[in-house]
């Protein structure tokens, strides 16, 4: 069960709030609403190195990978980076695989660069590949 109550949304820095709201829209999924939080020139690098220029790209990939998927956002870290203000969102994915099998506790980290109130860059990593290997009986 998600435990997002631990995040104090009222006290998030502006850049983290933009990222949070983007992720909330993405989980509906509502890629058009999510697009209101990104710059026209956004570069989204999804798992496996797939590159998109609109939030509809990751949404289309997720439709193939999961029956449904949501994020249990646990933490937002904001720092000044070489590219601008960097926001990391970490937590866990939960949902159902395409065959209806539920899952939870799938770690994720998303890295965002925010400039002028818009997300200009997003990088996505998670443990879904590892979990799929375990389901196939392949464990390291």
Q: Rounded to an integer, what distance in angstroms lies between the CA atom of residue 121 and that of residue 83?
A: 9
Tens of pLDDT, residues 67-80: 999 999 999 999 99
In a domain, 140, yes or no: no
CA distances from 47 to 2, 113, 117, 129 (A): 22, 17, 25, 9
Mean pLDDT confidence for 36-54: 97
- pLDDT confidence tier of residue 2, bands split at 50, 70 and 90: low
In a domain, 30, yes or no: yes
In a domain, 76, yes or no: yes
- pLDDT of 20 strictly over 80: yes
Q: Which residue has the higher pLDDT, 7 or 76?
A: 76
Tens of pLDDT, residues 99-113: 999 999 999 999 999
- SS3 for 133? helix
Q: What is the pTM of this model?
A: 0.91
Average model confidence (pLDDT) for the chain? 93
Mean pLDDT confidence for 113-136: 92
- In the chain, the number of structural domains is 1
The CA-CA-CA angle for residues 46, 28, 7, to 5°, reads: 85
Q: What is the pLDDT of residue 51?
A: 98
In a domain, 26, yes or no: yes
Any idea what the CATH number is for the domain that residue 40 is in?
3.10.450.50
**Residue 77 is part of which domain span?**
4-135
- The answer for residues whose C-beta is within 8 angstroms of residue 60's C-beta and 6 or more apart is none
- pLDDT confidence tier of residue 59, bands split at 50, 70 and 90: very high
């Amino acid at each position: 069960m998600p435990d997002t109550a631990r995040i104090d949304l009222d006290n998030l820095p502006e850049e983290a709030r933009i990222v949070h709201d983007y992720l909330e829209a993405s989980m509906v999924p509502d890629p058009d609403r999510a697009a209101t939080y990104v710059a026209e020139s956004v570069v989204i690098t999804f798992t496996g190195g797939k590159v998109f220029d609109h939030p509809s790209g990751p949404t289309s990939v997720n439709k193939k990978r999961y029956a449904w998927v949501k994020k249990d956002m646990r933490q937002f870290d904001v720092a000044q980076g070489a590219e601008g203000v960097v926001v990391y969102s970490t937590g866990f994915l939960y949902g159902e695989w395409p065959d209806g099998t539920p899952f939870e506790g799938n770690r994720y980290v998303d890295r965002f660069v925010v400039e002028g109130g818009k997300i200009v860059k997003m990088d996505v990593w998670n443990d879904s590949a590892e979990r799929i290997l375990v389901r196939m009986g392949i464990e390291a």
